[in-house]
């Protein structure tokens, strides 16, 4: 599965997962930036960024500067949640869910380059200090 197909697969999987949780979900419209899905339930609307990876060692796949906004010199996630779907032989095996607040707490490690990596967040996610992990 190439990266484009992997990304679309992850978005569909998360949309279906949220649908089963009672959310109505739509994929981002052209021109909307910084998130992949818009989910609504009980009047609450949330923006979700989805990353799909074959990496089971933890951490998050590369984030991009289009998924962040600069506020007072710090990079903040645009989406309300980051969902990382991990695949094992192209089948979902794990879903890591991080809130905007959890990602933003590491904003001092975001770099203003195309690929934004958050090494401490990677480590803390891997060590279950941040986020929520669902084994599929």
User: Distance from CA of residue 89 to its chain's centroid?
Assistant: 20
Q: Does domain 3-135 have CATH number 3.30.70?
A: no
- Which residues lie across from 111 on neighbouring strands? none
Looking at residues 64-73, what average pLDDT do you find? 83
Looking at residues 100-116, what average pLDDT do you find? 71
User: pTM of the predicted model, to two decimals?
Assistant: 0.88
Question: What SS3 state is found at 17?
Answer: helix
* 86: CB partners within 8 A, 6+ apart: 52, 53, 54, 55, 56, 92, 93, 94, 95, 96
**Under 8 Å between Cβ of 99 and 60:** no
User: Distance from CA of residue 101 to its chain's centroid?
Assistant: 13
Looking at residues 107-117, what average pLDDT do you find? 60
**% of the chain with per-residue pLDDT over 70:** 92
- Whether 16 shows a pLDDT value over 90: the answer reads yes
């Amino acid at each position: 599965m190439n990266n484009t197909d992997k990304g679309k697969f992850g978005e569909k999987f998360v949309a279906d997962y949220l649908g089963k949780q009672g959310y109505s979900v739509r994929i981002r419209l052209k021109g909307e930036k910084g998130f992949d899905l818009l989910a609504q339930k009980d009047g609450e609307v949330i923006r979700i960024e989805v990353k799909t990876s074959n990496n089971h060692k933890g951490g998050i796949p590369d984030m991009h500067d289009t998924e962040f906004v600069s506020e007072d010199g710090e990079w903040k996630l645009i989406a309300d949640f980051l969902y990382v779907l991990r695949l094992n032989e192209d089948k979902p095996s794990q879903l890591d869910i991080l809130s905007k607040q959890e990602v933003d707490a590491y904003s001092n490690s975001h770099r203003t380059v195309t690929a934004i990596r958050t090494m401490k967040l990677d480590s803390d996610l891997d060590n279950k200090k941040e986020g929520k992990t669902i084994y599929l």
